Chains A and B, each alone.
Chain A
Amino acid sequence: MLKIDQLHVKFGSTEVVRGVSYTVRPGEIVSLLGESGSGKTVSALAPLKLYSKHLATVNADQIVLGDIDLVKVDEKRLNTIRGKRIGMVFQNPGEALSPHMSIKSQFKELSQVHDMKWDLDVVLKVLDEVGLGDDAARVLEMMPYQLSGGQAQRVTIALTLFLSPEIIIADEPTSSIDASLTEVIVTLLLETQKKRNLGLLFITHDFELASRISDRMIILYGGLVMEEGTCDQIFESPKHPYTIELMRCVNALRTKTERLYTLNGYALDPTEFTEACPFVARCPQVEPRCHEGIPELREITATHHVRCVHAGGLT
């Protein structure tokens, strides 16, 4: 189980993540949903210290993986956790694979880094698991540029599964090179998640996709959790105006309307964060008190939390 409590991340003097907490349990799919600048990727990657400490200042009350306190562990120990216990799938295969190494060498390098005995059978098994079983021998000899987009993504997942992690963090780029490949990787991730009882933290900007695949959704805006709950809670009784507006945007596409429903303006850039609710500029229900400070994350039920002055009073 991965548990993050009150995570704050600063890049220079700009605070990008302003107190985000979340938990990922084995066998559970949790979506971190947000637009660009919401802090979703940083919230997932900063706990693993994936940003240089010269760049990012990471503070948290608690970052725990099982029985290990990740705040306290040193870089050497962390290297045995990243990849090995928490796998990462970056959905842009062009950036995830080393361009000058054959696929086989990339598997070999992984096993060396993590002190594993080289066993070709294990490699063939994971390649089979990601649907490359028939081509495995050929794919292993290939260089990344020779793979098709879909194959490269399968290889990326195979490399992640090779180390048998208990949790996988999947990051979907908002500006994906070929958006239609997302479907392939998502289906595959869901299959392996189920089969291996993994905890999956899925970072996305796609509301529809998140609602389709996850057990719980965490909706971020302006570096803060705006609403979190089970998929049913979010879908059947969304409480935050941002969630409600997002759903209206998504639903507009289901009905044949002349004009699509849209939100005014753009999401905030972290340099524009203030000590008010970050959604004030776009919120249809904005009131003077929304400008007075950041609302607290309030409990609606044990699993459903909302950060809005109207919380509970909205339908």
Chain B
Amino acid sequence: MKSAESLDSKETASAEILMEVSRLTKTFHVKNGLWGKHYKVEAIKDISLNLFKGETLGLIGESGSGKTTLSQIILGLQKANHGLVKFHGIEPAYLRRDVQIVFQYSYGALDPLKTVFELVKEPLLLHKVAFEGTIENEVSRILALVGLSEGMMNRRVTAISGGQKQRVGIARALASRPKLLILDEPVSALDVSVQGQIVNLLVDLKRQLGLTYLFITHDLRIAIHLSDRLAVMHRGEIVECVATERLLENPAHPYTKKLLASISMMRE
């Protein structure tokens, strides 16, 4: 892993570091039953990671490997026991505007009583990006970005399809004009015929807006398609973090080899 990282840094030496995660550790204390024993679960073990401006870093690993905990610490939704996250040198908990998240289950993340217009308006007002006078223009602008027509504005979330819901979720994340988007399984809940639409949209948005993505997924195929670099998580550790092509050609860690074997197992 050490050698892989140094090889990698050569390539990206010129790139600007957007986010720096250093020596992050998070331990949960779990109690087994009311009178049961306490025990510790180390969700994240001493993780260090750099995110460069304009790249897509895919974070892959099975459930329970610590992907979500890591993303929540980066967002400032949980506190780490040790270690630091620096975004442009500042802790991101104070920079909600610059770091936003798109959830897997957009259905649960969106208030079913609100219209698409209200849902996109909310973060605009919260982050003081637009004001009452300009809000309608701003909402239309963002909806156009994610490929939703103005006709959708007054529809409720319950009356739109899964793909459209995810577009609304992306629109909300974009409202504060963030620099970094954390994409937590953004297409896993979607139908196959719609997944591609959202993946293509994410590629377009990144180019158009100069975004940086941290793409969290268990779906190796989509991770490979989208990511410039891949970080493989296993039991709370990042076991490997290299350029996507290099990982495919020459996986170093046994766990990565196992993961790659699982996609070649699929039917040709």
Contacts and interface: CB of A to CB of B under 8 A. Distances in A.
A179 B107 contact: no
Interface in A32-54: 35-36
A180 B218 contact: yes
Chain B interface size band reads 35 or more
Nearest to A268: B161
9 contacts: A179-B104, A180-B218, A249-B192, A250-B192, A253-B221, A259-B203, A262-B197, A262-B200, A266-B194
Interface in A166-188: 174-181, 183
Contacts of A149: 63-64
B192 A206 contact: yes
Given A253-B222, A254-B221, A35 B193 contact: yes
Given A258-B203, A266-B194, 15 more contacts: A35-B192, A35-B193, A36-B162, A179-B104, A179-B219, A207-B192, A212-B265, A246-B193, A249-B195, A260-B196, A260-B225, A262-B193, A262-B197, A263-B196, A269-B161
Given A179-B104, A253-B225, A262-B197, A235 B267 contact: yes
Nearest to A142: B33
Contacts of A253: 221-222, 225
Interface stretch (B17-25, B124-132, B183-191): B183-191
A43 B191 CA distance: 18
Interface in A60-84: none
B71 interface: no
A36 B63 CA distance: 24
A205 B191 contact: yes
Contacts of A183: 62, 262
Interface in A231-256: 235, 245-246, 249-250, 252-254, 256
B196 A261 contact: yes
Contact of A208 (B63, B190, B199, B266): B266
Nearest to B65: A180
Q: Which of A179, A235, A245 has the most CB of B within 10 A?
A: A179
Given A180-B218, A253-B222, A245 B193 contact: yes
Given A180-B62, A180-B63, A269-B161, A249 B193 contact: yes
B34 to A, nearest CB: 10
Nearest to A262: B196
Nearest to B197: A262
B63 A146 contact: no
Contacts of B56: none
Interface in A187-238: 205-208, 211-212, 235
A258 to B, nearest CB: 8
Contacts of A259: 200, 203
